[in-house]
Amino acid sequence: MKIAVVGFGMMGRQIAQVFAQHGNEVAVTDENKQALTTGIDESANGPYGVRAAVAKGKLTQEEGAQTLRAIRTATTIEDACQGANLVIEAVFEDLRLKQGVLRRLEEVAPHDALLASNTSTLGITKIASTLSNKERVLGMHFFNPAQVTKLVEIVKGELTSSSAIQEATKIVQMIGKTPIVARDEPGFVANRLGLTLYMEASRLLEEDIASIRDIDQAMKLGYNHPLGPFETADLVGLDTRLRNLEALYEQTGDEKWVPPKVLREMVNQGYLGDATRRAGSRGGYYTYLGAKPR
């Protein structure tokens, strides 16, 4: 298959690598041309990049080389979308921006190509609302880091066709992931559950019921979660977490999604999450609070 990824930031890079590792031709583009260079380097040398996968025995040397050859940078959306069977929008989580990108994709992508948004919280129906052909638009929500996580949420907008959902399901299975299908409701499934846990963990911390370390330990040892809620937030990115909560609050008006005060303070001060994975970040929860993970 030919895949186009529009937006070569953190998630776009991961998604492109996953498709390339499974034998697909991937064209990537970004309005920030430096992101193309940085993204290719991260796909090769990042913590979940090709060389790390080869070192861990998950890919052979030849498979790693083929993966990197399969990712092509394009300077324009038109070039990236040429001949694509699937176009994935992975730009910044902003409704108007995503709507503008999708309108452009409708103009230049092949008429039979699926148009997918990697949005994590914004409604697919709203994103597609200005398009003429809404039947082929759906959500295809990958999770960070996409090279490792097995889940992909497929989100059905109000006018998404059943055939588009079926095709997307087959594509997700083809790249070794497990799809779930969700109706177009704020937060879909995984983020609605994950953010609920995060908000309750934040209340426990604010009320001084337990330390950040012990809250994380409770979920890791009590429920076998690989990471605690604050460790997960640091991995995902605190600015991303803040935007997700703001989007949910804006869409629902439910005060349970009002972002914690400490989260906003951290982001405003440059604490964007795990500094080893987020360039320019001053650190995450543990750094900000002066706590030590166990």
Using the CB atoms, write b or e for 161-200: b if 16+ within 10 Å. Answer: beebbebbeebbeebebebebbebebbbbbbeebbeebbe
Instruction: Give 3-state DSSP helix, strand, coil % of the chain, rounded to 5.
Output: 50, 15, 35
The whole-angstrom separation of Cα 26 and Cα 16 is 6
DSSP-based three-state secondary structure for 292 = coil
Q: What distance separates the 2 farthest-apart alpha carbons in the chain?
A: 56
The verdict on whether 111 is a catalytic residue reads no
What single string gives the DSSP state of each residue in 90-125? ---S-HHHHHHHHHHHHHHS-TTSEEEE--SSS-HH
Query: Which of these is catalytic: 43, 89, 118, 141?
Result: 141
Query: Which of these is catalytic: 120, 144, 202, 281?
Result: 120
Query: Which of these is catalytic: 153, 202, 231, 244?
Result: 153
Residues paired with 223 in a beta bridge: none
The verdict on whether 120 is a catalytic residue reads yes
Among 205, 292, 282, 294, CA closest to 238 = 282
The verdict on whether 42 is a catalytic residue reads no
The whole-angstrom separation of Cα 44 and Cα 271 is 26
The whole-angstrom separation of Cα 128 and Cα 102 is 7
Omega into 145 within 30° of 0, i.e. cis? yes
The whole-angstrom separation of Cα 29 and Cα 72 is 9
Using the CB atoms, write b or e for 208-231: b if 16+ within 10 Å. Answer: eeeebbebbebbbeeeeeeebbbb
Among 89, 198, 205, CA closest to 137 = 89
Catalogue the active-site residues.
120, 141, 153, 191
